[in-house]
A and B are shown apart, each in its own frame.
Chain A
Amino acid sequence: QKEVEQDPGPLSVPEGAIVSLNCTYSNSAFQYFMWYRQYSRKGPELLMYTYSSGNKEDGRFTAQVDKSSKYISLFIRDSQPSDSATYLCAMNGGGATNKLIFGTGTLLAVQP
């Protein structure tokens, strides 16, 4: 079993839709959860970062962590064509090294 599972997509939605991206994980020691966005031909850039369970909102983006279910989500409201990218979840336990475990990424296409 992979430590982090993420549906690779592709996910295609119309402009203005609410997008839900998800990851599940198996290691209960994970405490730090991140979402990265990667545009084509670019490196990943950090979108959201949460610690432990709960929600965090930043503009149109909301990150949600449910540690009891080992499930994290990223919601995008009022999606725009500029949101079209690959979204990677990443997490770690905050232990001795800063080793992030990544999901495979979900390719999102927002159609105008």
Chain B
Amino acid sequence: ETGVTQTPRHLVMGMTNKKSLKCEQHLGHNAMYWYKQSAKKPLELMFVYSLEERVENNSVPSRFSPECPNSSHLFLHLHTLQPEDSALYLCASSQDSVGPVKTQYFGPGTRLLVL
């Protein structure tokens, strides 16, 4: 285990539903990330939080809403999603988000299917 947990592991939702993805890191890191992984595409960075402040929002549609209540927890709130949003959503953490690269540790991901 990498010390980053994600729930749920699988989620099926309709386009009108509202759901939330949860990520928790037990590594004492200060930075947390949301990525989207689709088949045959590179990982897409969605959001970066450093010390609970959003430092990057990579032109993500507003139907995805992140929340970072503290440095150990990260949420991704989902509403009125589209079928093309079906993907594996990965959470990651690192010691911090600036300066020389720091290793990012990934959770197992939430496999999302939007019907």
Contacts and interface: CB of A to CB of B under 8 A. Distances in A.
Interface of A: 2, 4, 8, 32, 34, 36, 41-46, 49, 88, 90, 92, 94, 96-105
18 contacts: A8-B40, A32-B100, A32-B101, A45-B105, A45-B106, A46-B104, A49-B103, A90-B43, A94-B101, A97-B55, A98-B98, A99-B48, A100-B43, A102-B42, A103-B42, A104-B40, A104-B41, A105-B42
Interface residues of B, number: 30
For the residues of B in contact with A, the DSSP-based class is: loop
Contacts of B48: 97-99
Given A4-B42, A98-B94, 7 more contacts: A34-B103, A41-B108, A42-B109, A43-B6, A44-B90, A94-B101, A97-B55
Given A97-B98, A99-B45, A42 B108 contact: yes
Contacts of B45: 99-100
Contacts of B101: 32, 34, 49, 92, 94, 98, 100
Nearest to B10: A41
Contacts of B90: 43-44
Interface string B69-109: 00000000000000000000010101011111111111111
B56 interface: yes
A98 B41 contact: no
A53 to B, nearest CB: 16
A8 B55 CA distance: 31
